[in-house]
Structure formats: structure tokens, C-alpha cells
Amino acid sequence: MKYAIYLNTTLPIRSEASEASEMVTQLLFGDTCEILEESDSFVKIRNNGDGYLGWADSKSLTEIDEETHKKIIDHPVFRTCVPIADIFCITDKTIYRLSAGSLLPLYNPEKSSFEISGKVFQIHPTFVTYLPESNKDNIIESAMLFVNTPYLWGGKNILGIDCSGLVQTVYAMNGFALPRDASMQALEGVKVDTLEEAQPNDLLFFEKEGRITHVGIFLGNNKIIHASGKVKIEQVDQQGIYNHETTKYTHTLSTIKRV
């Protein structure tokens, strides 16, 4: 098995081995993957974080050996916790800008640095959060970092994100590993029967023609934060999401889950 790591801001992962193909998700800095197949300049990968499959430009990935891959997987998890975190690569004297929730592989908190694939990176400690275990205390705070981020199908970063990408990234920033798509996320957790019983941080799922097509995070007080056009806060009730500008319901509530 071949392994690789991504060491830049965001990498499009596509449904087919072509730049013209639909972007289905993204890798963020520090994400590792298994290389399953090669096709010209593309490789088919499985994201180690969520098992998602897709095609990536092989030139953008850095191959790592099995030992390094295991060290990264077994190492304590550190992620960036600000919208954009600048890290300095001491090796090539350049700055990389990381979106919120990016992984810092093999990070040493005593030195505020890490070394991977022959490169040494330095980052300010206030940009970093340590995730020894999952904790929902800061989920809403993390979600608020993304307010006004434009909607981008397949996006997972502060400059473009989709509804399930927002949920997955925000929960990852707080130690929870969720699947990539809303329909998969809806299978997680414990069902909550009504919105009246819902608590802040619960996940609200919405349907279209009997299929789960949308997800957001419940804030309490009949408010939801979700990505639709942009990341925003809107009114929600047992029927669905209500848009005050159009005076219409935009999404139909299907189910509520507590992770």
C-alpha cells in the first residue's frame, strides 16, 4: 500500500481523473491518504480521515512510507483553531496559510513546530488546539468562525464550504470524526424526536424527495447555522428552515441527531 500526505492549503478531490471533473471534497493541510490507483497525472485516493474516495493531482501530494504514516495516525491530534493560520516553513523560507481545522502532523507543542517529509514548519501556539478527546463545549464557537464563508460544493475550507463540509470540519475541530456527506452523517448519533427536545450542537437534517440533502448545526432558540449560499444563521422550526427575506421555507426538516 502507498501512502501520501497533503502539505498545502486545500486540494480538490474529484469524482474522476480529470481537472474538468466535479470536485466532491477537499484535503486540508496534514490530511493523509492511501493511494489506490494511478491514471496519468492523477491518483485515486482514500482519505484516512473519513474513508472518502476520489481522484487527486499526484503532483500535489507528498508520498510517505508506512512507518511515517503510522506515526502520524498514532500521534496526538493537533489542529488549527483560527480562520486562517500562517505557518512558516523553515526549510524553504515560505509561508503557508492554513484553513481552520487543518491537521498539524507530528506537532511538538514544546517547540511549536513539526517536521514532516524533510520540511520543518513553525506555527504560533495560539493558532493550535490539542484534541485529547471529543468535547462539544466549543462546537458553536468553531462554527461561528465560518460565518459568511461562500458556499462551495465539495468545499471544506474558510474560503468555500458546503453544508456537510461545515459540519464535518467543525466537529473535527472538537475531536469528533464524522463522515463526509449529509446522508452519511444522518446515520450517526442518537435520534431526537422533536425540535423542542433538541439541544445546541445537535445536527438537523433536511430532505428533498425523500433523500437527505442538507445539514446544519442547531444553535438553540430556533436558530441554525448552515451553509446555503453562504454560511449563515437562520430561523428553524419543526417544518424546516425559514428565510425571512423571501418569507419562504427553503429546507424541509427530516431528522435530528445528537452525536
Sign of CA dihedral 174, 175, 180, 182: negative
**Can you list the residues of the chain whose pLDDT is less than 70?**
none
Q: What is the pLDDT of residue 245?
A: 87
Cβ atoms of 25 and 13 within 8 Å: the answer is: yes
Angle at 171 between CA 3 and CA 186, to 5 degrees: 95
Within its chain, how far is the Cα of 252 from the centroid?
24
Q: Are residues 126 and 146 in the same domain?
A: no
- Looking up residue 56, the CATH number of its domain turns out to be 2.30.30.40
Q: How far is it, in rounded angstroms, from Cα 49 to Cα 169?
A: 11
Backbone angles phi, psi at 114, to 5 degrees: -155, 155
245 within domain boundaries:
yes
Q: Are residues 105 and 143 in the same domain?
A: no
Q: Are residues 160 and 123 in the same domain?
A: no
Q: Are residues 189 and 232 in the same domain?
A: yes
Q: Are residues 177 and 236 in the same domain?
A: yes
Q: Which of 124, 214, 244, 251 is catalytic?
A: 214
Angle at 103 between CA 97 and CA 106, to 5 degrees: 110
Sign of CA dihedral 20, 153, 179, 107: positive
Q: Which of 75, 163, 244, 251 is catalytic?
A: 163
Q: Are residues 104 and 160 in the same domain?
A: no
Q: How far is it, in rounded angstroms, from Cα 182 to Cα 185?
A: 5
- Whether 69 sits among the annotated catalytic residues: the reply is no
The total number of structural domains that make up the chain: 3
Q: How far is it, in rounded angstroms, from Cα 184 to Cα 206?
A: 13
Q: Which of 69, 81, 226, 251 is catalytic?
A: 226
Domain boundary (53, 71, 89) is at: 71
92 within domain boundaries:
yes
Which residue range is the domain that position 86 belongs to? 81-130
Q: Are residues 167 and 253 in the same domain?
A: yes
Q: Are residues 14 and 93 in the same domain?
A: no
- Whether 226 sits among the annotated catalytic residues: the reply is yes
Residue/partner pairs of 23-27 with CB below 8 Å, 24 or more apart: 23/153, 23/154, 23/155, 24/52, 24/54, 24/154, 25/52, 25/54, 25/154, 25/156, 25/165, 25/180, 26/154, 26/155, 26/156, 26/157, 26/165, 27/56
76 within domain boundaries:
no
- Looking up residue 147, the CATH number of its domain turns out to be 3.90.1720.10
- Whether 251 sits among the annotated catalytic residues: the reply is no
Q: What is the pLDDT of residue 82?
A: 97
pLDDT digits (tens, 9 = 90+) for 20-40: 999 999 999 999 999 999 999
